[in-house]
Amino acid sequence: MKKKIVLLALIVLTMVGCTNNKKDNKQTQEIEIITLQPLQENETLCYEDDLRRISGSWAENYDGFIIRVEAKREDVKSFTVQDATAFECVVADALVLSNGTSNVRTLNVYDLNSCSELLSIKDNFSGEVMPDDNQTGFTFYKYSEDMPIVQWNAQTGEWHETNKVPSELFNSDFYNTIEEIGDRAFNGMRLAALQKTYVNIENKKISYLNEYKWKYIE
């Protein structure tokens, strides 16, 4: 009698398991895949994965880089950002865009799932935005007028400090930078020691690191 009860229980569990598997498979099959149209001539592919495609374009008579996020599945949202200047990167489920007309710009971070702005970073930056290895945030180099700055004086043929520059910043990076510039230096040309900055997307915390990089600023 006990053997019959155990056997019956196993049959019931097997049937339940099969039913659940069928439900899971059905739910997976019900997610509709969206076929995207080819990009237009004025559009540039910025990023693409299995869930979405991100492209950018300049429109005639419109002063802004238009970013389009297009969903590849019905359970993923699409949205458009009208007033960007450049695509920077995607970190986990966050889209990082920059705004500005020179090589010094500001950053805006958007949540790809909710399609809303996640973070607006008012610190100016220059150079590249670099995602970290674990996809929880990114780094950039911060610029401000109180950063250590040197300026080329064509009359003396030397770089002069325009504010206080700590002696440790006259390092190999500084000398490599001026060597790369070479005879392209012009009177009044400025180099700034930009501060490395880390942005944690999960807790929206910005950390200023004790690491600097010399770069030409306009």
Mean pLDDT of 89-113: 90
Determine which of 20-34, 81-95, 117-131, 179-193 has the lowest per-residue pLDDT on average: 20-34
Q: Give the start-end residues of each E strand in the chain.
A: 43-48, 52-58, 65-71, 79-84, 86-91, 94-99, 105-111, 117-131, 137-143, 149-153, 158-161, 190-200, 205-217
Contact indicator for 97, 46 with CB cutoff of 8 Å: no
Dump pLDDT digits (tens) for 194-214: 999 999 999 999 999 999 999
d(CA 22, CA 11): 17
At 29, is the pLDDT very low, low, confident or very high (cuts 50, 70, 90)?
low
**DSSP states of 43-80 as a string?**
EEEEEE-SSEEEEEEEPTT--SEEEEEEESBTTS--EE
CA-based nearest residue to 198, from 121, 146, 145? 121
pLDDT of residue 122: 87
pLDDT of residue 125: 87
DSSP, collapsed to helix, strand or coil, labels residue 36 as: coil
In terms of C-beta density within 10 A (0-12 exposed, 13-18 middle, 19 or more buried), how is residue 105 classed?
buried
pTM to 2 decimal places: 0.78
Task: Output the CA torsion sign for 164, 170, 176, 178.
Answer: positive
Count how many residues are written for the chain.
218
pLDDT of residue 31: 81
Dump pLDDT digits (tens) for 165-177: 999 999 999 999 9
CA dihedral 141, 142, 144, 148 (to 10 degrees): -50
d(CA 23, CA 34): 22
